[in-house]
Amino acid sequence: MTKRRLAVLGGGNGARTVAADMTLAGHEVHLFEFEKFHANVAAIFDDRTITISGKARNGTAEIALATHDLGEAVDGVEMIAIVVPALYHGLYAEHLAPVLRDGQHVVLMPGTFGSLEFITTARAKGMKARITVTELDTLPYATRIVGPGAVKVFHALPVFGAGVFPSERTDEVVRILKDLYAGVGKFRDVLEAGLSNCNPVIHPLGVLMNAGRIEYSRGEFYYYEEGVTPSTARAMEALDEERLAIGRKLGLDMPGQAEALHAVDYGPKGDLWETLKGSKGLTPIKGPTSLANRYVTEDIPIGLVCWSQLGGMIGVPTPLMRATVEIGIAISGVNYWETGRTMEKCGIAGMTAEELCDYVKTGVR
């Protein structure tokens, strides 16, 4: 293993876990969070330590650098991991555009087509650096904050995939990633990676079908244990079929989510209900405690809006995705079709399936 220098951007459970785990693995980590969120990370920034427990490397990690200066955080690093809700990929692209340098590799954990929004936004903000933007299909951990400077990992994925933009540089990026995560594999491109995120399949529809229970429980709710039933799982599987149809139109032969989740040890082999219900890594996780939760506020506008618009653009109908988005809009009062990850934000509006596949391979329109 080669010791790597990387920046981890974000202050939530995922970013803290990546920073701690990679530090304990022997890498040099620079942790960044915006100054306006200092109160959330004060305990970590005070002594640069994060304690990690559970199904990952355990211990107290001393982070090499914790800073509110983005330029300082990314200076001299080869890899920049953005571990924030996907809603903020565009914001980070705006702030990173002037400080990125040739040869750096940005990694979104996960992406859901965030790579396309990131590169489009950064270029619009004047970025000239020759970089790659990689997106993982998932965060490599199921993890939660359990204290001001502590996280607990419920499940660490043994394998997961990475899609690189442009895909011509996939081998170069994955070679570096393997020093961080030995189990990382290669997707054909960011299209396959973006369509492989399980969250838009297993979160929004099931949560909306449990809306009354979630609001009534006032926080006493375990989605995977209580909310995933044979009926909700069948609805998710129908939505998953729309995702797979989009993939086929793009020349991708992807597994269903039940098979994909079993492959990364999230649950036993079976249909989606059997896999999720039998998941020792997911069923102990409490929540969501309200409908104003990322299962709705992120996975609908970032996941389902993007997938459904992509389907419409290349001629694949997605009635269940569209219905889920519309119910989410009715409940939240937010027009996710406008605020979500649109084809325009991704810089691919109007492309045919063939043009899109060529673009993500070369990075050139």
What pLDDT is attached to residue 294? 92
Residue type, 181: Y
- Using a pLDDT cut of 70, give the percent of the chain over it: 100
Asked whether residue 70 carries a pLDDT value surpassing 90, the answer given is yes
CA distances from 279 to 96, 180, 240, 244 (A): 38, 26, 19, 23
CA distance 6 to 23: 10
Q: In the CATH scheme, what is the homologous superfamily, with its name and number, of domain 199-362?
A: N-(1-d-carboxylethyl)-l-norvaline Dehydrogenase; domain 2 (1.10.1040.10)
CB 24 within 8 A of CB 52: yes
Least trusted range by pLDDT, from 74-78, 162-166, 218-222: 218-222
Q: Is 67 left (phi over 0), alpha (psi -120 to 50) or beta?
A: beta
Mean per-residue pLDDT, 231-241:
98
CB 180 within 8 A of CB 81: no
Residue type, 167: S
Phi, psi of 133 (to 5 degrees): -125, 120
Per residue in 146-162, pLDDT tens? 999 999 999 999 999 99
CA distance 151 to 186: 28
Mean per-residue pLDDT, 194-223:
95
Residue type, 285: I
CA distance 365 to 360: 9
> Pairing state of beta strands 59-62 and 49-54?
antiparallel
Phi, psi of 65 (to 5 degrees): -150, 135
CA distance 289 to 283: 15
What pLDDT is attached to residue 1? 79
What pLDDT is attached to residue 288? 95
What b/e string do you get for 94-122 counting C-beta neighbours within 10 Å, with b at 16 or more?
A: ebbbebbeeebbbbbbbbbbbbbbbbbbb
Q: Describe the crossing of helices 230-249 and 319-332 by its angle, rounded to 10 degrees.
A: 120
Domain with CATH 3.40.50.720 in the chain: 5-196
CA distance 345 to 312: 16
DSSP secondary structure code for residue 55 in this structure: S
Asked whether residue 293 carries a pLDDT value surpassing 90, the answer given is yes
Q: Which residues, other chains included, contact 323 with Cβ-Cβ below 8 Å and sequence gap of 6+? A: none
What pLDDT is attached to residue 218? 87
Instruction: Give the total residue count for the chain.
Output: 365
As a CATH number, domain 5-196 is 3.40.50.720
Asked whether residue 266 carries a pLDDT value surpassing 90, the answer given is no
Nearest by Cα to 90 from 67, 113, 68, 66: 113
Mean per-residue pLDDT, 40-54:
97
What pLDDT is attached to residue 264? 86
Residue type, 365: R
* Tokens at 345, concatenated: 């934000």
Mean per-residue pLDDT, 27-39:
98
Asked whether residue 60 carries a pLDDT value surpassing 90, the answer given is yes
CB 144 within 8 A of CB 112: no
Asked whether residue 186 carries a pLDDT value surpassing 90, the answer given is yes
Nearest by Cα to 58 from 46, 50, 47: 50
DSSP secondary structure code for residue 183 in this structure: T
Q: What pairs with residue 146 in β-bridges? A: none
Q: Which residues, other chains included, contact 145 with Cβ-Cβ below 8 Å and sequence gap of 6+? A: 12, 13, 16, 151
Domain with CATH 1.10.1040.10 in the chain: 199-362
Tell me the longest C-alpha to C-alpha distance in the chain: 54
CA distance 62 to 26: 11
The pLDDT mean for the chain works out to: 96
Nearest by Cα to 118 from 131, 103, 133: 133
